[in-house]
Structure 1
Amino acid sequence: MKSESLNVNNLTTKQKQTILITIMMGSFLTTLTQTVLTSALPSIMSDFNVTANTAQWLTTIYMLVLGIMIPATPYLINRFSTRKLFITSMTCFFAGCILSILAPNFGVMVLSRVHQAICSGINMQLVQILMMRMYPLEERGSAMGMYGFILGVAPRIQNNIFQLNVSIT
């Protein structure tokens, strides 16, 4: 497949905003999963009967794979359309989340985290490239600032979301 370049010249302001909101929501969710697991580690240790050192692999492997995906993503972006790549990465990310929720053992949980990290790594790079393509130089700062805000907000509210989930269950 050949990459379909995003033709920014034909996008209206409303279309750009719609794309930006969509990719920001994806970024918010993928960023949230980077840190939300930390709050759940004690429960995971108990459920899977693993030590803290073993459970820590869930966050360590996630960050390791995320870092590996940074240089790999430009290849994918050049090979596939940005739309297909975003939809596929988010769909696969949610599949990884479901696998994580249903994990029968710790090994499957680790594999689901690797799966999530691959998709999250693609998404993080894709968002930045899309913003660079969509916005002219004079508007890029605002778009990147919004992206930074979203990345900063997700970890800040993750404990509230986790506490709400714990109180419900």
Structure 2
Amino acid sequence: MPISSAPIMYGSKVAGSDLLPWEWARTRLDAARNYWISTTRPDGRPHCRPVWAVWLDDALWFSTGSLAQHNLTTNHAITAHLEDGDEVVIVEGIAVAAHGHPSLQQMCDRYGAKYDWPIYPTDTGIRDDNSALGPVFRVVPEVVFGWGERTAKPTRWVF
């Protein structure tokens, strides 16, 4: 279970002790349809794109064949956030290749049910029914930020 505290926002620590429970963020991470990921190109420029993902075993799992895949081979740092700008959840962490991970089959099962798009584990990632291949990344969170509408109850969870 992550440790919660008030984050620093607008240059100072947020006053008050009314924090969101971790379950609030976890529920939104689990239920979201689209997630935006941000990686860094080797020359330092940012790269951002939407992906489909699942929240499993306190990590965000996704597959992409985009420039993000190349970026993550040189810099594993990643930020992922939900589309919702009112009930915000932002995950900052490290993306690691998930091929061979014991939970990869469970990730594929959950992804297939969530998106009605069956995927299957391979030695290097996943494949779909069209034989399209892709790597799978597992984002291990270091810190997660969240807040409700009008920045209500801003909370920082450290893993």
Indicate the TM-score class for this superposition, using the shorter chain for normalisation.
Answer: under 0.3
Q: Which structure shows the higher helix fraction?
A: 1
The structure richer in strand per residue is 2
Q: TM-score, normalised by structure 2?
A: 0.26
* Larger-Rg structure: 1
TM-score, with normalisation over the residues of structure 1? 0.25
Higher RCO (C-alpha 8 Å, min separation 6): 1
